Amino acid sequence: MEALNMPRLRHVLTRRLVLSGLMLGAAVTAPAYAMDAFEAVKGPLDYIGSVEFFPEAGALSAGWTVRIAEDDLDEISFALSSAFGTASVAGADVVDVTTELDERFGGAVRTYRIDLAPSVNGADRIVKFAYGGPLFPEELPLPINTLDSDKIELTVDSFWFPFDARFDSDLTARVQVRLAGEWSAVGVGSVVSTPKGFHFVQAEPALDIAFSLLSNSEVVKADDYVIHDARSEPGTKLEELTGALEFCTAYLNGLAGPAGPLPQASIIVTDRPEGGYSRGTLIALTDIEDDDEEYLLQFICHELAHYWSKANAGGPENWINEGLADYLANMGVRNALGETVFDARMARYAEQIEGHDLPPIWAAELTERPPYLIMYRAAPVALQHLEERMGRATFTAFMQRIMTDRVRTTPALLALLEEMAGAEIRTWFETRLAD
Ligand SMILES: [Zn+2]
């Protein structure tokens, strides 16, 4: 296991996931799934799977039918954990398979390069995988991935399912999960209990198949959210958490008006020291006992606000996703905790960017995704300055229009700004972004 370079693996994947917008994906939790609606939104890769978990053994057994929509591919490579040995790969469209341990992941991952039969009249090609065994033969230094009798929480960096090795294809999925015992389930899409487990449907194209299964959690249900508290001492800071969820939902729904309301959020709270994440309104929180009210409020509002920030996450427009979500959250903090707390927060942001040699927030010629300090610090500060210039009432109306119109690009945002506040403010803000 010494060759398994987890930080690097995490870096590669997290970067890819963020780039692809997975972490910002919408999570519309439907009470049940409609097959017709699902067929209409199939991703470039569509997974139909049957997975049985054996938590005591840390093992699983899986079968997948992967439908490949891209009709011009001659070959496709999938990456799967090498802990399963060599998977069986089959299907009428599979001409040849070569498999090897992937050097990029120090032997933890096996790559399957599949030569595909040509697509007939643009028809989908199908590849089937079958494999099984313990996923984590040894204790892994990964904070998130677990497959034990308390919790099953698998993310893409465990390679528990065959993952398109280009690391940038969106997928949709339907997964029949079987496992024994009493479990509760959380997913990005819809989750339906079945006699032997759960059926997950992920109809919104995303990079990962994301769900969590918990056997020991305390569940708190409300109209706007469900909290799965999986900590060894559940309940700590729960009041602050429910307070933040209730406040942020009400505040953001009020701000969004016709663009709301938010779908019901699913929150998982764990003890682990790191590895929090959010995928749409599925939010995993870690170590919240040390978080103060402002932090928790801002964090929850930020994650929920992503429901409306839908720019292309792979490039320069990602300043909209993060900057907008973050500033909407800061407006929430101001509303809940007052001007002094808000002012101090924004002053900290300004301080953090001072003295750094940063690229512009946005300019037409930019092609790179902005760095952290731009997205999470400089962009919110620019929006604060815009709010000061426009006045709060007009700025709030502007935010609502961004949400209702689902503004996805900076030119569209600037055009809307001009429409609502005039050419002079537009020019000023465009210059401010390019500064
Ligand atoms: Zn964010």
DSSP class per residue in 289-312: GG--HHHHHHHHHHHHHTTT--S-
Give yes or no: residues 64 and 114 share one domain. yes
Q: Which residues share a beta bridge with 178?
A: 52, 197
Whether the pLDDT of residue 196 is over 50: the answer is: yes
Mean pLDDT of 189-204: 90
Positive or negative CA dihedral for 130, 136, 142, 145? positive
Boundary of a domain, candidates 239, 262, 296: 296
pLDDT at 16 (0 to 100): 39
270 Cα–ligand 1 center, Å: 20
Give yes or no: residues 243 and 387 share one domain. no
406 Cα–ligand 1 center, Å: 16
Give yes or no: residues 187 and 249 share one domain. no
% pLDDT > 90, the chain:
62
pLDDT at 2 (0 to 100): 29
Q: Which amino acid is at 245?
A: L
Asked whether residue 341 is assigned to any structural domain, the reply reads yes
Whole domain around residue 24: which residue ranges? 6-216
Whether the pLDDT of residue 349 is over 80: the answer is: yes
Read off the pLDDT band of 142 (50, 70, 90). low
Give yes or no: residues 288 and 201 share one domain. no
Asked whether residue 24 is assigned to any structural domain, the reply reads yes
The better pLDDT of the pair 184, 20 is held by 184
Q: How many beta carbons lie within 10 A of that of residue 140, not counting itself? A: 19
Give yes or no: residues 206 and 281 share one domain. no
220 Cα–ligand 1 center, Å: 25
Cβ–Cβ under 8 Å, residues 178 and 196:
yes
325 Cα–ligand 1 center, Å: 6
The better pLDDT of the pair 204, 394 is held by 394
Boundary of a domain, candidates 183, 216, 249: 216
Give yes or no: residues 186 and 333 share one domain. no
Read off the pLDDT band of 270 (50, 70, 90). confident
pLDDT at 7 (0 to 100): 38
163 Cα–ligand 1 center, Å: 24
Whether the pLDDT of residue 136 is over 60: the answer is: yes
Asked whether residue 91 is assigned to any structural domain, the reply reads yes
348 Cα–ligand 1 center, Å: 18
Give yes or no: residues 289 and 333 share one domain. no
83 Cα–ligand 1 center, Å: 33
**Where is mean pLDDT largest: 161-165, 166-170, 312-316?**
161-165
Please tell me the distance from the alpha carbon of residue 71 to that of residue 352, in angstroms, as a whole number: 48
Q: What is the DSSP letter of 93?
A: T
Mean pLDDT of 94-115: 92
45 Cα–ligand 1 center, Å: 26
232 Cα–ligand 1 center, Å: 28
Give yes or no: residues 40 and 165 share one domain. yes
330 Cα–ligand 1 center, Å: 12
Q: Which amino acid is at 346?
A: M
Q: Which CATH number does the domain housing residue 353 bear? A: 1.10.390.10
Asked whether residue 311 is assigned to any structural domain, the reply reads no
Boundary of a domain, candidates 216, 248, 272: 216
354 Cα–ligand 1 center, Å: 22
The pLDDT tens digits of the residues spanning 4-31 come to 333 334 444 443 333 333 332 223 233 3
Both tokens of residue 171?
A: 């997928």
Asked whether residue 302 is assigned to any structural domain, the reply reads no
Phi/psi-derived region of residue 325, left when phi > 0, alpha when psi is between -120 and 50, beta in every other case: alpha
Please tell me the distance from the alpha carbon of residue 55 to that of residue 70, in angstroms, as a whole number: 36
The better pLDDT of the pair 188, 342 is held by 342
Give yes or no: residues 127 and 243 share one domain. no
In the three-class reduction of DSSP (H, G, I as helix; E, B as strand; rest coil), residue 207 is classed as: coil
Q: Which of 48-57, 106-115, 307-316 has the lowest mean pLDDT?
A: 307-316
Whether the pLDDT of residue 283 is over 90: the answer is: no
| Domain count within the chain | 3
Mean pLDDT of 196-215: 88
pLDDT at 20 (0 to 100): 33
Mean pLDDT of 188-216: 87
Give yes or no: residues 212 and 277 share one domain. no
33 Cα–ligand 1 center, Å: 28
Please tell me the distance from the alpha carbon of residue 249 to that of residue 368, in angstroms, as a whole number: 33
Cβ–Cβ under 8 Å, residues 240 and 385:
no
Q: Which CATH number does the domain housing residue 125 bear? A: 2.60.40
Give yes or no: residues 326 and 259 share one domain. no
318 Cα–ligand 1 center, Å: 10
48 Cα–ligand 1 center, Å: 30
Please tell me the distance from the alpha carbon of residue 24 to that of residue 323, in angstroms, as a whole number: 13
Give yes or no: residues 10 and 155 share one domain. yes
